């Protein structure tokens, strides 16, 4: 059976010659028997030969660059690195244009120990210059994926993205810069290498962004490159950038490095390892948070013990003379970059650690945010300097959540969306809304085509486009449970249409952490616009729409379960245009969670507080004008709530309403559209009334009863409710 050789040794290097750093070598056995991995001596890193088992079995080699006529001298340069007497045939991999929902991003399968093992292979002296390589774990990216160039920190190995290779490799063409241990290229020379690659990539795909990820020292490299190329569309991601090196807490100790005796230096890496990173956060990377606490502690202890022997490898990765050189390089890099930072026009994302004992990364993030024109900061208070090797930071998740992933010059919230992975779903289900899920114990019901109501989501169509239309509960608390339950039970991605203010960047927050708002984007939420709804339905998506919007979500006292819908049939005509199936649904349970004691009218009667609310809402985005009636009164505020002993959330999805084949009658006849609109509204109200009545029959409506049942019988999501 054909299989890809995934030996770590095949992290194939691309030298900085005229060869465009865009190609990859993939060796595939087609002998029909058991495949054999390449021995470590069968691949010479700097382009000598591929020998051994491949000659026996025959291989298919995808060079990824086509014939010589198309690439000029580049094909010769590439073929020179494949001097073996095997049959060479170009093979086109099947490149997917999308990812499945709950795909495997590999996060938690790689650890810092893997980083050290890879580093030991890559630091062997070969006399070569700094060069780019493509990690084999990255695999084949999606069609039209942008390129991502990673610049390493002080170690220079280029494998600090080891924990993220598989995830990033799905949506980026990943290239990592390797700076050999004995290399003494000055900072300006390294900038030239990165800049040359950036310009080659831009010339090849001028309409795609180029991602530059810089870790510590690499942050200086990518910022300097961005300053030199303001006309190129760059997305710069900085992980604790070393632009603050002159203000490092360890600055007084660095001049002593040359005086360290060799015997003492063998102990220095152990000291630096605890200063540069958080060993506990590193050791927690591959621990399943669903395990009992006792097992988590046992595995953490084992990981820490396994990590200790690896620290001695730091002496080989950064020997004494190299450390002295790198410290001088850091000083010149920070000075060079800071003198040119005013010229950076790129889109910038800064990842800042709260426990960085090497650099003042928190203060530096704020400085960069105020100095750069388009800069976003995310603060990780529990992480250390080596943030990319620590638990709690999935780089692709951060890129998605901050809205930085795009395949063209402008972001498209629909076509650029990357569905949540399994690790993201687990975190969202267990950590993000775990307490809410436990407290509300959502019970889901749906209606079959014959009108029968059943437990679960079996009545919801698999094939899109599907438009879910329902009522907002107080503050939209039900949306999270709804989206996650569809992922868990049906493996269906439901895109929520959210108010733009909910997804907007909070500019007034000085040290914004990766927030619930960011997770909403990861889980498919998009701003409510006609354009986004059009794109979602045109791509046959499942879409969640609340016609009542903020007015319904932030209703007043005495308005529980009342619909505030516009008079216009906005969504009906859009659904008919694409033949979407409309599923009306109702949700109840907010009155069992909290009591609304202070609404907007009450708060506006309180001196000082009313002025604060006016100022806070004056800049909010208005998605409906006053002519739309009561639904346009969308004042955003935080109501006064009195918590209750939690009851339960109930969802009922009504009988699906097909619009396929009715396009002409609905689009051309407003009366038909109105009748359908009123029918949908009536169905939602009917679902709400049904649930309000039937929940009285639920023996597990109270959290205490559900908790006891859960402890004795089954998982929380299987706690029974009333019989439909």
**pLDDT for position 257:** 62
Identify whether the C-beta of residue 234 lies closer than 8 Å to the C-beta of residue 55. no
CA pair distance 345, 227, nearest whole angstrom: 7
CA pair distance 717, 700, nearest whole angstrom: 12
**pTM for this model (two decimals):** 0.82
Q: How many residues does the chain have?
A: 724
Identify whether the C-beta of residue 491 lies closer than 8 Å to the C-beta of residue 102. yes
Question: Would you list the DSSP string of 145-180?
Answer: PPEEEEE--TT--S-TTGGGHHHHHHHSEEEEEE--
Neighbours of 329 (CB within 10 A): 22
CA pair distance 148, 169, nearest whole angstrom: 9
Neighbours of 194 (CB within 10 A): 25
Token duo for residue 88 = 């060479």
Identify whether the C-beta of residue 405 lies closer than 8 Å to the C-beta of residue 349. no
**pLDDT for position 422:** 94
**pLDDT for position 619:** 62
Token duo for residue 630 = 């009561």
**pLDDT for position 82:** 28
Cα angle vertex 438, ends 432, 442, to 5°? 100
Neighbours of 318 (CB within 10 A): 22
Question: Would you list the DSSP string of 413-459?
Answer: TTTT----BHHHHHHIIIIISHHHHHHH--EEEEE-TTS-EEESSTT
In the chain (724 residues long), the average pLDDT of successive 10-residue segments reads 33 36 33 34 32 31 32 33 33 66 92 88 88 94 96 94 96 97 95 97 96 97 98 98 89 66 63 68 81 83 79 78 88 96 96 93 95 94 93 95 95 94 90 84 94 96 95 87 93 92 74 89 92 95 92 85 87 95 96 86 83 71 53 67 89 96 91 94 97 96 91 81 93
Nearest to 395 by CA among 349, 348, 347, 346: 349
Cα angle vertex 530, ends 525, 532, to 5°? 40
Cα angle vertex 600, ends 595, 606, to 5°? 105
Question: Would you list the DSSP string of 381-408?
Answer: TT--S-GGGSTT--HHHHHHHTT---SS
Cα angle vertex 643, ends 565, 705, to 5°? 100
Identify whether the C-beta of residue 423 lies closer than 8 Å to the C-beta of residue 536. no
pLDDT digits (tens, 9 = 90+) for 429-467: 888 887 888 888 899 999 999 999 999 999 999 998 999
pLDDT digits (tens, 9 = 90+) for 172-216: 999 999 999 999 999 999 999 999 999 999 999 999 999 999 999
Q: What string of H, E and C letters represents the secondary structure of 87-127?
A: CCCCCCCCCCCCCCCCECCCCCCCCHHHHHHHHHHHCCCCC
Question: Would you list the DSSP string of 271-313?
Answer: HHHHHHS-HHHHHTTT--TTS-HHHHHHHHHHHHHHHGGGGGG
Token duo for residue 265 = 């230096």
598 Cβ contact list (under 8 Å, min separation 6): 639, 640
- 661 exposure class (CB count in 10 Å sphere: 0-12, 13-18, 19+): exposed
Average pLDDT value for the chain: 82
**pLDDT for position 392:** 87
């Amino acid at each position: 059976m054909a299989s890809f050789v995934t030996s770590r040794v095949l992290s194939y290097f691309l030298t900085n010659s005229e060869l465009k750093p865009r190609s990859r070598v993939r060796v595939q056995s087609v002998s029909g028997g058991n495949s054999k991995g390449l021995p470590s001596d069968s691949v010479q890193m700097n382009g000598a030969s591929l020998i051994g088992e491949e000659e026996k079995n025959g291989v298919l080699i995808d060079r990824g660059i086509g014939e010589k006529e198309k690439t000029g001298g580049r094909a010769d340069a590439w073929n020179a690195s494949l001097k073996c007497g095997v049959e060479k045939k170009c093979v086109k991999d099947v490149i997917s244009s999308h990812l499945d929902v709950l795909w495997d991003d590999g996060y938690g399968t790689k650890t810092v120990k893997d980083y050290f093992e890879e580093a030991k292979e890559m630091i062997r002296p070969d006399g070569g210059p700094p060069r780019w390589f493509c990690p084999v774990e990255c695999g084949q990216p999606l069609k039209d994926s942008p390129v991502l160039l990673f610049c390493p920190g002080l170690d220079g190995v280029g494998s600090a993205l080891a924990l993220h290779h598989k995830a990033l490799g799905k949506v980026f063409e990943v290239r990592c810069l390797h700076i050999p241990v004995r290399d003494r290229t000055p900072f300006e020379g390294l900038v030239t290498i990165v800049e040359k690659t950036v310009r080659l990539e831009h010339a090849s795909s001028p309409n795609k962004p180029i991602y530059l990820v810089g870790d510590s020292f690499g942050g200086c490299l990518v910022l300097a490159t961005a300053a030199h190329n303001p006309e190129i569309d760059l997305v710069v991601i900085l992980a604790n950038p070393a632009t603050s090196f002159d203000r490092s807490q360890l600055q007084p100790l660095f001049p002593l490095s040359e005086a360290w005796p060799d015997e003492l230096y063998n102990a220095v890496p152990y000291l630096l390892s605890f200063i540069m990173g958080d060993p506990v956060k590193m050791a927690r990377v591959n621990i399943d948070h669903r395990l009992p606490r006792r097992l988590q502690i046992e595995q953490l202890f084992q990981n820490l013990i396994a990590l200790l022997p690896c620290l001695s490898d730091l002496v080989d990765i950064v020997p004494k003379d190299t450390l002295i050189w790198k410290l001088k390089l850091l000083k010149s890099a920070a000075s060079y970059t800071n003198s040119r930072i005013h010229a950076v026009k790129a889109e910038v994302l800064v990842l800042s650690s709260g426990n960085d004992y090497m650099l003042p990364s928190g203060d530096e993030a704020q400085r960069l945010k105020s100095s750069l024109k388009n800069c976003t900061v995310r603060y990780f208070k529990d992480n250390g300097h080596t943030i990319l090797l620590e638990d709690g930071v999935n780089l692709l998740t951060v890129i998605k959540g901050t809205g930085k992933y795009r395949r063209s010059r402008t972001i498209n919230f629909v076509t650029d969306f990357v569905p949540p992975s399994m690790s993201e779903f687990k975190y969202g289900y267990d950590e993000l809304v775990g307490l809410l899920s436990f407290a509300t114990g959502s019970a889901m019901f749906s209606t079959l085509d014959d009108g029968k109501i059943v437990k679960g989501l079996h009545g919801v169509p698999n094939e899109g486009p599907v438009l879910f239309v329902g009522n907002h509960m107080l503050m939209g608390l039900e949306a999270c449970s709804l989206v996650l339950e569809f992922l868990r039970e049906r493996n269906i991605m439901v895109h929520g249409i959210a108010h733009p203010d909910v997804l907007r960047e909070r500019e007034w927050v000085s040290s914004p952490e990766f927030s619930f708002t960011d997770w909403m984007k990861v889980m498919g939420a998009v701003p409510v616009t006609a354009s986004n709804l059009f794109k979602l339905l045109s791509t046959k998506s499942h879409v969640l729409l609340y016609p009542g919007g903020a007015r319904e979500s932030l209703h007043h006292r005495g308005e529980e379960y009342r619909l505030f819908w516009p008079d216009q049939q906005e969504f009906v005509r859009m659904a008919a245009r694409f033949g979407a199936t409309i599923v009306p649904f109702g949700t109840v349970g907010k009155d069992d969670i909290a009591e609304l004691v202070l609404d907007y009218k009450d708060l506006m009667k309180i001196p000082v507080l009313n002025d604060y609310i006016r100022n806070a809402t004056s800049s909010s985005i208005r998605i409906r004008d006053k002519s739309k009636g009561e639904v346009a009164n969308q004042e955003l505020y935080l109501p006064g709530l009195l918590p209750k002993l939690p009851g339960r959330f109930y969802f009922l999805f009504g009988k699906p309403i097909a619009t396929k084949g009715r396009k002409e009658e609905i689009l051309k006849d407003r009366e038909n559209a109105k009748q359908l609109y009123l029918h949908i509204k009536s169905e939602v109200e009917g679902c709400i009334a049904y649930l309000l009545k039937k929940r009285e029959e639920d023996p597990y409506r109270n959290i205490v009863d559900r908790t006891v049942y859960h402890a004795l019988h089954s998982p929380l999501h299987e706690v029974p409710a009333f019989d439909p």
